[in-house]
């Protein structure tokens, strides 16, 4: 097979491989002028959202490396992070120590949940995504059981601000006043009048460096091998099942930390909702950045956060100015979030099939040559 | 010797029935036994269970064709529901009161179901092996897309649109005066004050179930089963695999549309916007509770599964509430239904297709 391509072919191929980001650029290009927001406002909003969401999205990268697709089970980590936050709110530990303690509490919960999730995903090879998606729903039931019925009844929670008037169960919204923006406000620099939370960015940069370093370690290479071909990896002496479980555990633990970072920026915890939406938004953002089910890197994360959240910020206003209904813009952004995931999943499957048939043709051609 | 034989046969039966199903059946039985002791009327409970069975059974039946053709569990049920909603809203717009409106809704829903189902089938043919995840998101994005459409479509019947702006459909629309309880009240048998059997609704389900059962025994139906169990063998024996799969998806989508219409006439309201969002999960878990697996399902699975699932959904709130004065039914419903789906997804034998 020759690999010479004309310029048009190259452009077409580039467009084909980056359909989703290009689609988003077009949406944003129409939406931004329609919304009428100033550039300054948009940039500061996007900076806030990069700080808020990137950590969560980076947590999705490692399972993709191990060939397990998009880890919708990251909601498990988010639940663990929220449980940590509930405890520190109850104990009244504020500021950075509070956040650290919440992370420490969340870690063992994340590890156990991630290990369990990995075990189940090993039983459902080939359909990891839909399984991890259902695991998220299933654990949401258990989470409700623990938080709505267990906390205050079996697990001691003393604070009246947290417990429902009936004496047990956590309230729908928990005010995280103690840790609100404690990391963001630690060191804020104003660049051109836009506040930039330096410490949060430093933490995210550290995580990115960790992921880059991790890909080069023995374990990271093992994961890549498992992701490419499980049977070959097994023949090479890699413990496939174990490696897959580890990748999910790492992802879950990071998702827990990411959730704590996310909620310290927001400042209130929607006890029974926050974690459910986060999986969908993170996955959509990553895909908007040009990632696929099988390939994702740090660049996709940041491009995705910027494009996805630009769309998110401008669409209600754009809808209002265009048709006179802000509600329309809100439905539009929900539609786009789900639509993007759908398109990415379909494109991935179609491309996989195309590559398979191409590989078959190449093999046939080679055999003909030898004969 | 004899007891050994007995235990082994019991074990075999348990294995074929599956442990989770036994647990759920026993749980439901215990709930029914406990009910009179905690002051819950068994007649009312049974009546409620039957009613909910009728409301949901057609949507559960919508799983059958796609499972048969190997397209997996139809997480894209919301697409069929949308076809049904379009039929319902157009029927109300035409504004012919009484039972005729129900027939009209069926007539109007059918072309939408066929067109949407055909497109959905074409899509699923291109993503073989990854159907379930994509089906989930096709369902979600179509619901979100229709949210926009419900606001924009030019409906004008004053019972349907927002009063103050005169445009855009309401989130819930009452079907009173149109087809409220048309099936429920048809030949309804009133055994006592508490126990009413909604004969018409169950007959409607029985009719559709019979049609599907008969269809699966025709030549095309057999071809569908063949495609589901071994697509390569099916292709070798001259079956157009993609065509059969598309047909199964169209059937599933149409049944989903019928399912929501039956649901509405009993429930009394058309739920638009985010209403159909999570409607696939209860239907999927119901058929799995009934003994179906990712690539095998029968009408019996539908009947047993819907009865067990809806029985638990009806009984847990009332019995639990009277027993411990807390409503844990929501949690139990989430854990049971999603646990059942997880169980089915992780069966080893079914992972290989």
Predicted confidence (pLDDT) per residue in A330-361, tens digit? 888 888 888 888 888 888 888 888 888 888 88
Question: Does residue B286 carry a pLDDT above 80?
Answer: yes
pLDDT of residue B213: 92
CA distance A268 to A100: 18
Predicted confidence (pLDDT) per residue in B160-209, tens digit? 888 777 778 888 888 888 888 878 777 777 777 777 888 888 899 999 99
Is B262 a domain residue? yes
Predicted confidence (pLDDT) per residue in B126-166, tens digit? 888 788 888 988 999 999 999 988 888 888 888 888 877 77
B348 closest CB neighbour out of A123, A342, A349: A123
Whether residue A153 lies within 8 A of chain B, CB to CB, comes out as no
Q: Which residues of A touch B335 (CB under 8 A)?
A: 138, 141-142, 145
A135 closest CB neighbour out of B133, B326, B342: B342
Whether residue A79 lies within 8 A of chain B, CB to CB, comes out as no
**Nearest CA distance, A182 vs chain B (angstrom):** 34
The stretch A87-112 carries a mean pLDDT of: 91
pLDDT of residue B350: 44
Give me the domain span that covers residue B196: 58-276
Question: Does residue B273 carry a pLDDT above 70?
Answer: yes
Is B93 a domain residue? yes
Whether residue A125 lies within 8 A of chain B, CB to CB, comes out as yes
B345 closest CB neighbour out of A124, A327, A334: A124
The stretch B224-251 carries a mean pLDDT of: 89
The stretch A212-235 carries a mean pLDDT of: 91
Whether residue A129 lies within 8 A of chain B, CB to CB, comes out as yes
Predicted confidence (pLDDT) per residue in B297-316, tens digit? 888 889 988 988 888 888 88
Whether residue B123 lies within 8 A of chain A, CB to CB, comes out as yes
pLDDT of residue A112: 95
- Name the percent of chain A lying above pLDDT 90: 34
Question: Does residue B67 carry a pLDDT above 70?
Answer: yes
A335 closest CB neighbour out of B138, B141, B341: B141
Predicted confidence (pLDDT) per residue in A43-95, tens digit? 999 999 999 999 999 999 999 999 888 888 899 999 999 999 999 988 888 88
pLDDT of residue B145: 92
What is the number of domains present in chain B? 1
Question: Does residue A235 carry a pLDDT above 80?
Answer: yes
Cβ–Cβ below 8 Å for A127 and B126: no
Cβ–Cβ below 8 Å for B326 and A342: no
From A325, which residue of chain B is nearest by alpha-carbon distance? B151
pLDDT of residue A5: 64
pLDDT of residue A302: 92
- Name the percent of chain B lying above pLDDT 90: 25
pLDDT of residue A371: 61
Whether residue B126 lies within 8 A of chain A, CB to CB, comes out as yes
Is B96 a domain residue? yes
Q: What is the mean pLDDT of chain B?
A: 85
pLDDT of residue B348: 59
| Complete domains list, chain A, with CATH | 7-370 (1.10.3470)
Q: Which residues of B touch A130 (CB under 8 A)?
A: 75, 132-133, 136, 345
Whether residue B331 lies within 8 A of chain A, CB to CB, comes out as yes
pLDDT of residue B351: 38
Q: Which residues of A touch B276 (CB under 8 A)?
A: none
Cβ–Cβ below 8 Å for B133 and A129: yes
Q: Which residues of B touch A350 (CB under 8 A)?
A: 126-127
Cβ–Cβ below 8 Å for A346 and B341: no
Tell me, yes or no, if the pTM score tops 0.90.
Answer: no
Whether residue A172 lies within 8 A of chain B, CB to CB, comes out as no
Question: What 3 state SS string does chain A have?
Answer: CCCCCCHHHHHHHHHHHCHHHHHHHHHHHHHHHHHCCCHHHHHHHHHHHHHHHHHHHHCCHHHHHCCCCCCCCHHHHHHHHHHHHHHHHHHCCCHHHHHHHHHHHHHHHHHHHHHHHHHHHHHCCCCHHHHHHHHHHHHHHHHHHHHHHHECCCECCCCCCCECCCCCCECCEEECCCCCCCCHHHCEEEECCEEEEHHHHHHHHHHHHHHHHHHHCHHHHHHHHHHHCHHHHHHCCCCHHHHHHHHHHHHHHHHHHHHHHHHHHHCEEECCCHHHHHHHHHHHHHHHCCCCCCCCCHHHHHHHHHHHHHHHHHHHHHHHHHHCCHHHHHHHHHHHHHHHHHHHHHHHHHHHHHHHHHHHHHHHHHHHHHC
The stretch A259-266 carries a mean pLDDT of: 92
Dihedral (Cα; B21, B26, B31, B33), 10-degree rounding: 150
Question: Does residue B254 carry a pLDDT above 90?
Answer: yes
Is B51 a domain residue? no
Whether residue A87 lies within 8 A of chain B, CB to CB, comes out as no
Question: Does residue A4 carry a pLDDT above 70?
Answer: no
Whether residue B149 lies within 8 A of chain A, CB to CB, comes out as no
The stretch B110-139 carries a mean pLDDT of: 90
Question: Does residue B349 carry a pLDDT above 60?
Answer: no
Whether residue B67 lies within 8 A of chain A, CB to CB, comes out as no
A141 closest CB neighbour out of B123, B326, B331: B331
Q: What is the mean pLDDT of chain A?
A: 87
pLDDT of residue A53: 92
Whether residue B330 lies within 8 A of chain A, CB to CB, comes out as yes
Whether residue A335 lies within 8 A of chain B, CB to CB, comes out as yes
Is B49 a domain residue? no
Question: Does residue A171 carry a pLDDT above 70?
Answer: yes
A342 closest CB neighbour out of B138, B330, B332: B138
A341 closest CB neighbour out of B137, B348, B351: B137
Cβ–Cβ below 8 Å for B133 and A137: no
B334 closest CB neighbour out of A141, A327, A341: A141
The stretch B39-68 carries a mean pLDDT of: 87
Whether residue A126 lies within 8 A of chain B, CB to CB, comes out as yes
Instruction: Identify which of A248-252, A358-362, B278-282, B286-290 has the greatest average pLDDT.
Output: A248-252
pLDDT of residue A214: 92
The stretch B29-51 carries a mean pLDDT of: 83
Question: Does residue B84 carry a pLDDT above 70?
Answer: yes
Question: Does residue A1 carry a pLDDT above 70?
Answer: no
């Amino acid at each position: 097979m020759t690999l010479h391509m004309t310029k048009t072919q190259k452009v077409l191929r580039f467009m084909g491989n980056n359909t989703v980001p290009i689609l988003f650029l077009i949406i944003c290009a129409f939406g931004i002028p329609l919304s009428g927001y100033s550039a300054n406002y948009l940039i500061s909003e996007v900076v806030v959202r990069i700080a808020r969401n990137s950590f969560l999205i980076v947590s999705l990268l490692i399972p993709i490396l191990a060939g397990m697709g998009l880890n919708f089970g990251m909601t498990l980590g988010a639940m663990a992070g929220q449980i940590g936050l509930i405890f520190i709110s109850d104990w009244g530990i504020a500021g950075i120590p509070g956040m650290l303690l919440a992370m420490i509490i969340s870690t063992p919960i994340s590890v156990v949940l991630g290990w369990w999730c990995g075990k189940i995903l090993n039983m459902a090879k080939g359909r990891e995504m839909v399984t991890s998606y259902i695991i998220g729903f299933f654990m949401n039931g258990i989470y409700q059981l623990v938080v709505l019925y267990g906390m205050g009844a079996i697990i001691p929670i003393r604070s009246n601000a947290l417990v429902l008037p009936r004496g047990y169960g956590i309230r729908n919204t928990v005010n995280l006043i103690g840790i609100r923006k404690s990391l963001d406000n630690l060191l804020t620099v104003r660049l051109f009048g836009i506040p930039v939370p330096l410490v949060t960015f430093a933490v995210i940069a550290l995580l990115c460096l960790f992921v880059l370093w991790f890909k080069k370690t023995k374990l990271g290479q093992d994961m890549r091998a498992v992701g490419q071909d499980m049977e070959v990896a097994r023949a090479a002496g890699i413990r496939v099942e174990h490696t897959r479980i580890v990748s999910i555990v790492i992802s879950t633990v990071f998702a827990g930390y990411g959730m704590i970072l996310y909620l310290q920026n927001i400042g209130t915890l929607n006890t029974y909702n926050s974690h459910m939406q986060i999986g969908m938004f993170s996955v959509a953002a990553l895909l908007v950045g040009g990632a696929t089910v099988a390939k994702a890197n740090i660049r996709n994360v940041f491009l995705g956060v910027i494009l996805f959240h630009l769309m998110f910020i401008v669409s209600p206003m754009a809808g209002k100015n265009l048709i006179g209904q802000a509600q329309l813009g809100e439905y539009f952004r929900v539609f786009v979030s789900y639509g993007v995931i759908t398109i990415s999943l379909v494109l991935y499957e179609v491309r996989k099939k195309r590559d398979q048939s191409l590989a078959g043709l190449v093999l046939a051609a080679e055999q003909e040559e030898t004969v | 010797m004899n007891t050994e034989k007995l235990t082994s046969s019991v074990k075999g039966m348990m294995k074929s029935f599956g442990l989770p199903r036994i647990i759920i059946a026993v749980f439901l039985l215990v709930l029914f036994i406990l009910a009179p002791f905690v002051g819950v009327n068994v007649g009312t409970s049974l009546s409620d269970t039957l009613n909910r069975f009728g409301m949901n059974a057609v949507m559960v039946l919508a799983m059958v064709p796609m499972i048969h053709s190997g397209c997996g569990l139809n997480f894209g049920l919301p697409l069929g529901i949308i076809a049904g909603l379009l039929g319902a809203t157009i029927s109300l717009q035409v504004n012919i009161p009484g039972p005729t409106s129900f027939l009209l809704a069926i007539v109007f829903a059918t072309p939408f179901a066929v067109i949407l189902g055909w497109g959905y089938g074409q899509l699923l043919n291109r993503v073989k092996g990854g159907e379930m995840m994509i089906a989930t998101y096709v369902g979600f994005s179509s619901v979100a897309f229709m949210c926009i459409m419900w606001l924009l479509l030019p409906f004008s019947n004053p019972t349907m649109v927002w009063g103050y702006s005169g445009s855009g459909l309401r989130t819930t629309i009452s079907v009173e005066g149109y087809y409220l309880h048309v099936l429920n009240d048809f030949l309804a048998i009133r055994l006592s004050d508490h126990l009413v059997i909604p004969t018409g609704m169950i007959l409607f389900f029985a009719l559709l179930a019979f049609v599907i059962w008969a269809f699966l025994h025709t030549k095309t139906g057999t071809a569908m089963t063949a495609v589901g169990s071994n697509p390569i063998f099916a292709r070798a024996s001259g079956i157009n695999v993609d065509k059969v799969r598309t047909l199964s998806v169209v059937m599933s989508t149409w049944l989903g549309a019928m399912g929501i219409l039956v649901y509405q006439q009993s429930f009394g309201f058309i739920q638009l916007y985010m209403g159909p969002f999570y409607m696939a999960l209860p239907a999927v878990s119901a058929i799995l509770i009934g003994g179906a697996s990712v690539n095998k399902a029968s009408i019996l699975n539908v009947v047993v599964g819907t009865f067990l699932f809806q029985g638990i959904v009806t009984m847990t709130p009332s019995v639990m509430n009277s027993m411990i004065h807390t409503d844990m039914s929501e949690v139990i419903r989430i854990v049971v239904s999603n646990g059942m789906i997880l169980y089915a997804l992780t069966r080893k034998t079914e992972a290989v297709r």
